[in-house]
Amino acid sequence: MIRRITSAIALVLALSAGVHASEAKVTSFSLDNGMDVVVIEDHRAPVVQQMVWYRTGSADETPGVSGVAHFLEHLMFKATENLESGELSSTVAANGGRDNAFTSYDYTAYFQRVAADRLELMMQMEADRMVNLRLTENDITTERQVILEERSQRTDSDPGALFNEQMRAVQYLNHRYGQPIIGWRHEMEQLDMEHVLSFYEMYYAPNNAILVVSGDVDPENVRTLAETYYGAIPANPDLPERLRPDEPPQLSARRVTFKDARVAQPYVMRSYLAPERDSGAQEKAAALYLLAQLLGGGSTSYLTNALQFDQQLAVYTTSYYRGASLDDTTFTFLVVPAQDVSLEEAEAALDATLAAFLEEGVDEAQLDRIKLQLRADEIYARDNVDGIANRYGRALTMGLTVQDVQDWPQILQSVTADEIIAVAREVLVPEASVTGWLTRDAQEVTQ
């Protein structure tokens, strides 16, 4: 116990003095075919994680075929020229590892975590399915049913998920971020072999991919293996430029009321269109991140103190900013009213509290505490090699660089209180907002 207390004190003293633990050793390079490679060394355990990130997600889908990016992610575990259906995952498991994949608006990623001496085998299999996927009509039929059932379980059966889906559709007037990642059910039901193969052949290519290898590895050995397996795959010369529909000026506040008898706890949500993190210009995003922490980042935040403790109008409040995005993102508030407090009263209290915050300005002591916690979090995060790999992979898919990722912690520390208030006044404007009420029935709605 004494050792733990001493270590904690030493850490706080080091952070207060501005002493930072060194970043994990990161090496980056590109193969001749355009594939980017990031190697993150961590030799504390003989384990390696391989991740392949494709710069494509649901926001890159053609209108009318929503869900195809996620559908293809499922189908990538089927047969290739060299592997039987399911063989990749069974091979990973047989070698004591684990694997999975995930799809978002801006990327699709696949990973395996295994013993370090199995990296070559993982590269061989991952490179194989990058170009040699062999699907059957039965694969399409059965896996389409799987994703429809996934939508039923995760979205259609959850009023909160349906509400969030409607909020997002209203927030984006033109951009593909307004569609659900899993897809609209009526479009998912029509996905076929042609849709899948068209997406696969267009976007699954080395010049649209990022290889991130983290763990007990040597960068030169990774380079050799990557050149052997991924370097042999030709680039796609027809890879389109990554252009999305621009979001037009948002000129009017919008409202959503979602009524569902299954709702256990009504709440108010407010989202604003907000700028994302941009390469070489992350300062505004850093200010928005800190604004979210100040307003709704925990038990000492401004909203919590005002609405939960002082006025006792809410049982839960939060705010969050999704800066990891290729295009314009959102800044969001959520207020769960206390018993006998209406949604109208909760919304009015949110508006009044935000106005008071802008009038009073940032509590410098609170900002310093948040920055200190962020420095501590950054140090502890370096023990999570999986998390570091995710951080770099996600950043590169949204147009950031390795240097941007490494600069981010210091940029957060350099943000001033005045910059936070300035970005709050710029972003938290009614015209770019959507206010939503999630309620049980019409009796909850008074507006």
Among residues 61, 73, 165, 378, which one is catalytic? 73
d(CA 205, CA 54): 8
Q: Could you tell me which residues come within 8 angstroms of residue 348 by beta carbon, excluding any fewer than 6 positions away? A: none
Q: Is 73 assigned a catalytic role?
A: yes
Distance between alpha carbon 362 and the CA centroid of its chain, in Å? 27
Amino acid at site 186: H
273-301 burial, b at 16+ Cβ within 10 Å, e below that, comes to bbbbbbeeebbbbbbbbbbbbbbbbeeeb
Contact 172, 135 (CB under 8 A): no
d(CA 287, CA 291): 6
d(CA 211, CA 393): 8
Q: Could you tell me which residues come within 8 angstroms of residue 233 by beta carbon, excluding any fewer than 6 positions away? A: 33, 127, 130, 131, 205, 206
Contact 112, 96 (CB under 8 A): no
* Nearest partner of 172 among 394, 433, 435, judged by Cα: 433
Q: Residue 242: CA atoms inside 13 Å, Cβ hemisphere, count?
A: 18
Question: Known catalytic residues?
Answer: 73
